[in-house]
Structure 1
Amino acid sequence: MSLIVMKFGGSSVGDAERMKRVANRVVETQRNGHQCVVVVSAMGDTTDDLIDLTKQISDGTPPAREMDMLLTTGEQVSVALLSMAIHSLGQSAVSFTGWQAGMYTEAVHGKARITDIKPERVLHAVKQGNVVIVAGFQGMTQEGEITTLGRGGSDTTAVALAAAIQADVCEIYTDVDGIYSTDPRVVKCARKLPEITYDEMLELANLGAAVLHPRAVEYAKNYNVPLVVRSSFNHNAGTNVKEEAAMEQGIVVRGIASDKNVARISILGVEEKPGQLAKVFTALANAQIDVDIIVQSGVLNGLADFSFTVSLNDKEKAVDVIESIRSEVGFREVSSQQNLVKVSIVGAGMVSTPGVAAKMFETISDLGLSINMVSTSEIKTSCVIENNRLNEVIQALHTAYGLDTDQQAFVGGPSERR
Structure 2
Amino acid sequence: MSVTVLKFGGSSFLHLEDFGRVARHLAERLSAGENKIVVVVSAMSGTTDDLKAGMLDVNKQPKPSNLDAALATGEMLSACLLEAALSGLGIPVLSLNGYSLGIRSNSEFGRASIESVDARPVIAALQENDVVIAAGGQAIDQSGTLTFLGRNSSDLTAIVIASMLEERACEIYSDVPGVYTADPHLIPGTGLIPEIAYTTVARMSRHGARVLHHRAVDYAEKHAITIVCKSLTSDGAVTGTIVTDHGNASSVTVARDRAVFSGGSRAERNKLRALLDQHDVTAISVEDNFGASICILSDVDFGIRLVAQTGTRLVSIGSRTVVTELDASMLRVHLESDYEQAISLACQIHERMYPATDGEISERRKAKQRCTHSSLLMRANNAPENKH
Quickly name the TM-score band, shorter chain normalised: 0.7 to 0.9
Q: Which residue of 1 aligns with 2:320?
A: 340
Secondary structure at the aligned position of 1:100 is classed as coil
1:260 aligns with 2:256: yes
1:241 aligns with 2:243: yes
1:392 to 344, 363, 367: 344
Percent identity reads: 29
How far does residue 277 in structure 1 lie from its aligned partner after superposition?
Answer: 5.7
Contact 1:78–1:135 (Cα < 8 Å) also in 2:
yes
Q: Which residue of 2 aligns with 1:402?
A: 354
Over 3 Å counting, the alpha-carbon distance change for 1:203 and 1:403 in structure 2 is farther
For the pair shown, the structure with the greater C-alpha radius of gyration is: 1
Give the 5 Å matches for 1:196-345. Answer: 196-233=196-233, 234-245=236-247, 253-266=249-262, 276=267, 280-281=271-272, 290=281, 292-294=283-285, 306-310=292-296, 318=307, 321-323=311-313, 337-338=317-318, 340-345=320-325
Q: TM-score, normalised by structure 2?
A: 0.81
| Aligned AA (1:4) | T
Question: CA deviation digits over 1:93-150, x for unaligned, max 9?
Answer: 1111122110111112221111111111212332445211111111111211111111
1:414 aligns with 2:369: yes
Which moved further from structure 2: 254-263 or 170-179?
A: 254-263
Give the 5 Å matches for 1:46-85. Answer: 46-58=47-59, 60-85=60-85
| Aligned AA (2:121) | R
Over 3 Å counting, the alpha-carbon distance change for 1:96 and 1:269 in structure 2 is closer
Q: Which residue of 1 aligns with 2:381?
A: none
CA distance in 2, matches of 1:286, 1:127: 42
Q: TM-score, normalised by structure 1?
A: 0.75
Contact 2:137–2:148 (Cα < 8 Å) also in 1:
yes
| Aligned AA (2:218) | E
CA distance in 2, matches of 1:105, 1:317: 18
Contact 1:256–1:394 (Cα < 8 Å) also in 2:
yes
| Aligned AA (1:346) | L
How far does residue 175 in structure 1 lie from its aligned partner after superposition?
Answer: 0.8
Give the 5 Å matches for 1:98-117. Answer: 98-117=98-117
CA distance in 1, matches of 2:306, 2:121: 42
Secondary structure at the aligned position of 1:19 is classed as helix
How many residue pairs get matched? 359
Q: Which ranges of structure 1 fall in alignment gaps of 5 or more residues? A: 248-252, 271-275, 298-304, 324-333, 352-378
Secondary structure at the aligned position of 1:123 is classed as helix
CA distance in 1, matches of 2:336, 2:368: 29
Question: CA deviation digits over 1:256-297, x for unaligned, max 9?
Answer: 112233344455777xxxxx4698438965997956223679
Give the 5 Å matches for 1:367-386. Answer: 380-386=331-337
Contact 1:80–1:95 (Cα < 8 Å) also in 2:
yes
CA distance in 1, matches of 2:273, 2:186: 38
Over 3 Å counting, the alpha-carbon distance change for 1:240 and 1:279 in structure 2 is closer
Contact 2:79–2:135 (Cα < 8 Å) also in 1:
yes
Over 3 Å counting, the alpha-carbon distance change for 1:415 and 1:177 in structure 2 is farther
For the aligned residue pairs, the C-alpha RMSD in angstroms reads 3.4
